[in-house]
Structure 1
Amino acid sequence: MKTKRVLAGMMLYCGIASSAFAQVKEGESITMTQVDTIQVTNHKERVITNPFWNNWFVMADAGVNAFWGDCPVGKFKDRLTPQFNVGVGKWVIPGFGLNLQFTGFRSKGDKGVQGLYTRGSQTYTDADGNKYWKEKIKWWDLSFNAMFNLTRLIGGYEGISSSKHLNQFIASIGVGATHHYDLPYGSANEWSGHLELQYSRFFSTKKNLSLDVKLRGLFYETKYDGVFNHQLFDENISLNVGMTYYFKERGWGRTMTNTTIYKQDDRQISYLNDEINRLRSLKTDTVVIEKGTAEVLQNIVTFPYLVNFVIDKVKVVNREKVNLKAVAAMIKATPEQKYLICGYADKHTGSVKRNLWLAENRAKNVYKVLTEEFGVSADQLVLDDKGGVDNMYYDDPQLSRSVIISKYNE
């Protein structure tokens, strides 16, 4: 009996399911359109990756260098020489960047053995009667380095023109090629390793100029000073002071990407069309159905409507065109109404001239989409642009990079 009840239940379920599918008429379906929309967020670790030419900088510093090689003797002050450094680089994201540096220019010290790079044949004797030689090495080094902004990696990105993080700590690691010149035995080359700790103090919230203090270590193969196998590597340790200048454009925008699912139930639309036709057939003066109502019910739009743009771009992306199709349907359903298409740009990003161009061309491109792709009459549209503006919504610069469509009353 139990088995029979189970079989009966399964048959009843199959019958109900078959009946439900049988009631779905041709053309009735549920369609889903997925659209990625960009929204601004204050998440401190999420930013927009900027174009290639953004966040470049140049730097220069100078200081004092101390050399440690094989078999050193004598006083520490006898190892000190000037050192300089120049470089160019780019921050890829707030916490990571790359730079190319040129460093020089000599090392010196007292050595307990006569090496390849000891200068002259004179032998010196210290107070204890030990012999030593004077060593001088002229060199330059070209290195490629990875930079890590520890302040931003730990504390997050502070945003454009923020008073936070005026003091920043940066660590760098890299590899270089060192060239010896002006040697008694010709020239020599070897690889070098670079380690650097940097403290930077910015002078304004623009963060375009910083004062830098750097502790730098250059590590060479043990043959650097011409004496082998006494230690694993030779090194120059320096303490330098310099400055870094950051070119425009500086900083990063912050966004997050959400996925919005638009559901369209064709069965419900079919029901609404049938209901409209039924109401039209009624002989009454109390119900007025205007032409195009069925289409409007599918795409209800509230004005003003905002079309968003990527920073420094004027192209209308596909995710905005999906919604503009509904806007176009609403405009065509109200032929007696005119609509204003007004372009805007973020005042705090770019020059005044650039923002005027962005605002004008954003408005023109929305106009083209509505008229050329979705068939809106040009007589219903009025073009305008405002250039760079202060944050219009939620103190959020992203929302100022837009075109606003609103009803136009002459």
Structure 2
Amino acid sequence: MKRSTFTILSAVVLSLVASSVFAQRAIRQSETSSKPKSFFEAGFWDNWFVSATGGVNHYFGEDDNYNPDGFFGAITPNIKLSVGKWLRPSYGLRLQTEGMWLKGWNDGLNYEGVYTWNKLINDGTQGVDPVLNHKPPKDKDGKGYYQRMRYMDLHLDFMINLINLWKEYDINRPLDVYLYAGVGWGHMFRYKGIPTDNEIIGKLGTVLNIKLTDRLSGNIELQNSLVNEAFDGQIGGRGITNHNRSYEGYASLTAGFSYRLQNTFTKYDYVDPEVVKELNAKVNDALADNKRLQEKLDEFCPKDSCDKLRQQLQDALSKKCKDRLYVVIQYVIDKWNVRTSELYKLEEIVEFMKKHPEINISVTGYADVKTGNPAYNQKLSEKRANEVIRLLTTKFNVNKDRIKSKGLGDTVQPFKENERNRAVIAFDLDE
């Protein structure tokens, strides 16, 4: 063989090897996701929770600082019901309703000309409220009267998980702390001298969440509510500073339980689009060099004398530069159904199989080693693999004979992060 021909052939082989290296590197860069992803992903039905708590309330109105029964005499019961969703590990939304009773106190005086809708006169000439025809109970000295309120409110809160904001998300973390702020609507029912009223309410609070099981948590919540002063039926009064104020509020301390319907976030390694773009450009350049080198080969190696070598090069080119399949389908703990957010990955598998009808694929199920026991995890991994095959064959009409499947349970952990091993991996079989 001529030296020039040998040089050309060597360059072709080196170019093929370079193409393979760049192509495989590009595949590794995109193994965790076949399209750009944020660091965490969850489907619509993931991370919903419901909670119920009960505890105590205390109202802070115009004259309540002078309540003869003191602070603890104004304590009342409180019940809260909530439903919410964590949109990301560090933040979420919650809809909460609460209500029951509130207690207040009115000194019955009209200080500084401020109007009090149900004021009483010290000498007792006006002992019955003319508005609601109700005679409120006075204190033991007869200088004021007690307010008995029935209320409810509904508010939407924006929650921040402080620990997930500062540290990496961990589904097994035993303790979390949330802060939240919200706005909503409050309704005061007409009851024993208190008129009907509707007000906009602001909310601030914090929640201590203690994990009890995979889905059940205990929580302690401290909440403050800000509302217009008319909410308790009294406008004006001396208040704490002997001056009228426009806003007052009530605080609550409750404890209860929260149940997570499903709770998981799938972690993805971030892939810089510019890195992928650069690698793909290098692959394309390498393939273009292959084409130019083959054209040079035609000049130095006539077809009738280099058929065998030409076929070997063509086989190498076909093998090294063919498309590869590597798809990872993630699962919620103890589940084997494919979530809506993961269905597009099945479409990628189908597209690859249509493009390469001569290639078969492998579908392998896994389970994470930190959950369940080996026997249970083995069955779970098989269910996950079988469910993927069922969808491919029934929903996408893929020939079942082209799929090999198995479940490895927790005997193999392909990923360092425990949660990511709740997976099915599909790849092409390079026979």
What amino acid is aligned across from residue 402 of structure 1 in structure 2? I
**What do residues 308-354 of structure 1 show as CA deviations (whole Å, max 9, x unaligned)?**
145443445898899x59x94xx96xxxxxx6411134535997686
Q: Whole-Å Cα distance in 2 between the matches of residues 386 and 190 of structure 1? A: 61
Residues 1:355 and 2:384 are matched in the alignment: yes
Deviation at 1:107, TM superposition (A): 0.7
Instruction: Supply the distance in 2 between the matched residues of 1:406 and 1:399 (Cα, whole angstroms).
Output: 22
Q: Report if the CA contact (8 A) 2:382-2:406 is conserved.
A: no
Alpha-carbon separation, structure 2, partners of 1:267 and 1:283: 23
- Equivalent-residue separation in structure 2 for 1:255 and 1:394 (angstroms): 12
Q: State the Cα distance separating 1:59 from its structure 2 match.
A: 0.4
Residues 190-339 of structure 1 aligned to structure 2 (within 5 Å): 190-204=199-213, 206=214, 208-229=215-236, 230-259=244-273, 260=276, 261-262=279-280, 263-265=283-285, 266-275=288-297, 278-279=300-301, 281=303, 283=305, 288-289=308-309, 291=311, 293-294=313-314, 296-297=316-317, 300=320, 306-311=325-330, 312=338, 313-316=342-345, 328=356
Gaps of 5+ in 2: 1-21, 110-115, 119-128, 237-243, 331-337, 372-376
CA distance in 1, matches of 2:290, 2:31: 31
Q: Deviations over 1:278-334 (max 9, x none)?
A: 5464758xx83364843742660599x652145443445898899x59x94xx96xx
Q: Deviations over 1:359-398 (max 9, x none)?
A: 3157669x989x9xxxxxx9xx742222574455243537
- Give 1:78's aligned amino acid: G
Per-residue deviation, 1:220: 0.8
1:360 counterpart SS class: helix
Q: Which one has the bigger helix percentage?
A: 2
Supply the distance in 2 between the matched residues of 1:280 and 1:185 (Cα, whole angstroms). Answer: 104
User: What code does the residue aligned with 1:47 have?
Assistant: F
3-state DSSP of counterpart to 1:124: coil
- Of all paired residues, the percent bearing the same amino acid is 18
Alignment of 1:81-120 (within 5 A): 81-113=76-108, 116=117, 120=135
Amino acid at match of 1:406: L
Report the RMSD for the aligned CA atoms in angstroms: 4.2
Matched residue, 1:375: none
The change in CA–CA distance for 1:120 and 1:35 in structure 2 (over 3 A counts) is farther
Counterpart-to-counterpart distance in 2, 1:368 and 1:185? 68
Q: Which residue of 2 aligns with 1:124?
A: 139
Cα pair 1:359 1:386 within 8 Å, conserved = no
Which of 29, 40, 58 is the aligned partner of 1:66?
58
Counterpart CA distance in 1 for 2:225 and 2:427 is 56
| Matched residue SS, 1:152 | helix
Q: 1:52 to 1:225 in 2, by over 3 A?
A: same
Query: 1:393 maps to which residue?
Result: 414
Give distance in 2, aligned partners of 1:144 and 1:353.
42
Alpha-carbon distance, 1:231 to partner: 2.0
1:13 aligned residue = none
Partner amino acid for 1:104? G
Q: Could you tell me whether the CA contact under 8 Å between 2:151 and 2:186 is conserved in 1?
A: yes
Q: What is the TM-score of this pair, normalised by structure 1?
A: 0.70
> Structure 1, residues 207-261: CA drift from partner, whole Å, max 9, x if none?
x111111111111111112222522312111111111110125333333124423
* Offset, 1:177: 0.7
1:38–1:320 Cα change, 3 Å? farther
Matched, 1:180 2:195: no
**In structure 1, distance between residues paired with 2:136 and 2:297:** 109
Q: 1:321 to 1:342 in 2, by over 3 A?
A: closer
Instruction: State the one-letter code of the partner of 1:244.
Output: S
Q: Distance in 1 between matches of 2:48 and 2:267?
A: 16
Distance 1:170 1:277 in 2: 73
Displacement of 1:404: 2.2
Matched, 1:50 2:50: no
Measure, in 2, the Cα distance between the counterparts of 1:301 and 1:359.
Answer: 28
- The offset of 1:185, in angstroms, is 6.4
Is contact 2:195–2:233 with CA below 8 Å preserved after alignment?
no
Q: Distance in 2 between matches of 1:398 and 1:280?
A: 54
Q: State the distance in 1 between where 2:92 and 2:430 align.
A: 47
1:153 aligns with 2:165: yes
Please report the TM-score for the alignment, with normalisation by the length of structure 2: 0.67
Whether the 8 Å contact between 1:78 and 1:109 is mirrored in structure 2 is no
Deviation readout 1:27-83 (Å, 9 max, x if unpaired):
xxxxx9999964549xxxx63331111100000101111111011222112210001
Q: 1:202 to 1:316 in 2, by over 3 A?
A: closer
Partner residue, 1:14: none
Contact 1:36 1:258 in 2 (8 A): no
**One-letter amino acid of the structure 1 residue matched with residue 167 of structure 2:** G
* Equivalent residues of 1:60, 1:243 under 8 A apart: yes
